[in-house]
Chain A
Amino acid sequence: MNRRARWILLPALIATAAGAAQRPPAESRVLRVCADPNNLPFSNEKQEGFENRLAALVARDLKARLEYVWWAQRRGFIRNTLAAGACDVVFGVPSRFDRVLPTAPYLRSSYVFVSAGTIAPAITSLDDPRLRTLRIGVHLIGDDYTNTPPAHALARRGIVRNVAGYTIYGDYREPNPPARIIEALGRGEIDVAIVWGPFAGYFAPRERTRLRITPVSPASDGPAIPFQFDISLGVRLGNDSLRSELDAVLARRKSEIHAILAEYGVPMIAAGAQR
């Protein structure tokens, strides 16, 4: 509660401080980033996530001072942060997410199977018959017509009785709430988890037991359930000039960006592959 309350107070202060000028002189430029204070490997308050690293890189390139507006990245995140004018950019949104103006993608990844070492060969396909009997973990959301792609895909196959759900929201008082699913895998409570690649690439190696990561195939389950997503930076709708600037930075810093993503174990898929 206390930690959360402190994060939440920030937007008002920062919005006031930075609201005076649309485009201050270069030397005093501020890049305001909205991010989750408790969501590794993406971001946290200590700026240990790869999105934090990317933000630092982009700010340096723009000769801007980096400021954060912390807000839990769940329902209402865009509404209360970027759309409310509290910040200029969000460092990870699906490139087809139409509530923001996305840059060119800087990352393409996939949902992945994370299999316990005892599962050999590792699971690679949703149609692997072993999925009917293994204990599978997936992230679940709520009751409002949305869920993660693997949850939908398993449901389509009637694979539900052996599926354990882990709430993506979790308990926000704990560090990195979505990480509970990988910890359960490490403890042997489930045999395989199907989760978003960057998330798996960071947490799976941190478990004591050996876990294997393989991309989900097929890349899309029918026309409606994609497993691979391009990820972009997102700016406020209408802020085309900032998007152009950021696109240029992403192009200039491509190799450095890839190095950061590799450092975090992000499973990368070639851009444009299997759309």
Chain B
Amino acid sequence: MVDSIPRSISRLVTALALALIPACEREAAPGTAAGPERARAPAGAIQPAVATPEDGEWRMPARDYASTRYSGLDQITAGNVSRLQLAWTFSTGVLRGHEAAPIVANNTMYIVTPHPNILYALDLERGGALKWKYEPGTARAAKGVACCDVVNRGAAYADGRIFYNTLDVHTVAVDAETGEELWKTKLGDINRGESMTMAPLVVKGKVLVGNSGGEFGVRGWITALEAETGEIAWRGYSTGPDSIVLIGDDFRPFYEADRAKDLGVTTWTPDQWKLGGGAVWGWISYDPELDLIYHGTSNPGVWNPALRPGDNKWASSIFARDPDDGSVRWAYQLVPHDMHDYDGINESILLDMPIDGRTREVLVRPERNGFVYVMDRATGEVISADTFGHVTWADSIDLRTGRPVLRPEAATGNRAAKNVCPAAPGMKDWQPSSFSPRTGLLYLPHNNLCMDYEGVEANFIAGTPYVGAEVTMFAGPGGHRGVLAAWDPIARRKVWEIEERFPVWSGTVVTAGDVVFYGTMDRWFKAVNARTGEPLWQFQVGSGIIGQPVTYRGPDGRQYVAILSGVGGWAGAAALGIMPEEDPTTALGFANAMKDLPDYTAEGGMLYVFALPAGDSR
């Protein structure tokens, strides 16, 4: 709600003088974003680490290796977006939560549905007509091992192929032109509680993927497959001895305490790392210059934390790995000995940013635990960590040690804890943010939820009664449950924010037209001014939005914006009764915080594509 843009911009301009040269090198490709706005507020002080020419396509969910979700297209602007119209639609024929980003390449759009993970190819030259459809035959039983709805976060396009993961732990490659299955590789087993929901990243001929399933006591891993053949090139685990984590001679963590041998074993009680969680179900970024990939890991198992004294490495951590062999260059644990379900799987946005008078190569991570981390992506040093909402579990992150300064009253395990913020889904869950080099701002979709943790209740699995914590979630300060915020990573504060009724469980996209797009669970697709947060346009869709918006240039040269609607996910499924009752995640109390969701939406997967009226731009 605070609009302090003038100050923010002046800060940016000051910084510009100090960082002009790298900015010029990374100027956007010709023929893109060069509107009048650009002259008025020249960016450049802060730039994506990876220069990605604007080709009008959207080949991976984050659009580029730096994970900016920034489009250089500028036909749709803050000035004309109010005239945006529905261009075409497509029903996926699938219910449940649609979290995927549509992928656009060669005038074709590719959509992956939740389980049963159908892949549709839609012909953009024929108004979205179905080109082909591929069904991987995902096992129905896989629904039984999905913790939080049977979602899929999308596909990736590379070299004429579409790659994506199925809930029953396979990665598939499909010919982008014909829909023919090129290979299908089994990476794990639903019989051991594993599943897959994340979107792959394709780097140097390798398809990088990771597993889900911490709720079932799985051990997390990231795996690289050869894009050509589907053969497994390497696998790095998140827990266990260095040899299987792929920590070797090149390992140079920034913090001294992280340099000991086999921390993936010694920070656990004997053998408990084998059930230790650390699943890799979120986002991966890639820096081609440093030749490093960045990915996070989920929270440690098992519940409760008193059973696993120690830091529980490398759960709730960030890894920097060599994409060729998976070897770890550095690692940093965001939350040692997690007690609140704070996964560390969120997106790393790779930026080159002026800090204290020089340009630093950083990654910026708005984390589930409520802090925005700015880290040196070459070394793993935490440069800053600031809260972006109401946080009660820790006071701060100690930059000397890298460790959070905990508040004892928020500890869980063998004791009750009241008003712990953020709640288990975090200040921000998987829903990805975007970054505009034009404004220098990050656009964070996030939650505003707190929780009480108390007592236990009887439940059962495999004939065995067991007991769990009773967690009640509720809106944080202000009473709203969701926020879209613009965050200035240089000034380290929010520039503006928009309060939403429900958690903002959709991703965001920002364009060279200075428009931010996002969706809400109460069925609105919205456009706001990237500089001011001023609402510019909204459209009511059929079901709540938890997907990722994208924008592309159609074969007719016009700019389009696409989003999947279809409510669900952890935030939606419990409240809608589609992932109900005996699920501990429901016991975790998200349903309690979402009781009124059914008043606003029901299920239903549908693609919506928008454009300005023909001939109407600028």
Contacts and interface: CB of A to CB of B under 8 A. Distances in A.
A148 B466 contact: yes
B458 A163 contact: no
A142 B302 contact: yes
A224 B584 CA distance: 17
Interface stretch (A58-66, A114-122, A150-158, A251-259): A150-158
A200 to B, nearest CB: 11
A205 interface: no
Interface stretch (B56-64, B135-143, B381-389, B554-562): B135-143
B138 to A, nearest CB: 11
A146 B303 contact: yes
Nearest to B459: A146
Interface stretch (A126-134, A168-176, A241-249): A168-176
Contact of A141 (B140, B424, B461, B581): B461
A214 interface: no
Q: Which of B141, B465, B582 has the most CB of A within 10 A?
A: B465
Q: Does more than half of chain A's interface fall in helix, strand or loop, or is it mixed?
A: mixed
A171 B139 CA distance: 17
B580 interface: yes
A225 B303 contact: no
Interface string B543-557: 000000000000000
A176 B218 CA distance: 18
Contact of A199 (B269, B453, B464): B464
Contacts of B588: 144-145
Contacts of A92: 460, 463
Given A143-B215, A146-B459, A72 B141 contact: yes
Interface string A76-102: 111110010000000011101101000
A4 interface: yes
B303 A74 contact: no
A93 B468 contact: no
A99 to B, nearest CB: 4
A164 interface: yes
Contacts of A155: 304, 306-307, 413-414
B455 A146 contact: no
Interface in B106-158: 139-141, 143-147
A79 B583 contact: yes
22 contacts: A1-B191, A4-B141, A5-B141, A43-B463, A76-B144, A77-B144, A94-B460, A96-B457, A140-B275, A142-B217, A143-B214, A144-B585, A145-B303, A145-B588, A147-B466, A148-B466, A158-B306, A163-B269, A165-B307, A170-B192, A195-B464, A196-B465
Interface of A: 1, 4-5, 8-9, 36, 39, 42-43, 51, 71-80, 83, 92-94, 96-97, 99, 139-149, 151-152, 154-156, 158, 160-161, 163-165, 167-173, 177-178, 195-196, 198-199, 224-226, 229, 231
Interface of B: 139-141, 143-147, 189-193, 213-218, 269-272, 275, 277, 298-304, 306-309, 341, 413-414, 424, 453, 455-469, 471, 579-585, 587-588
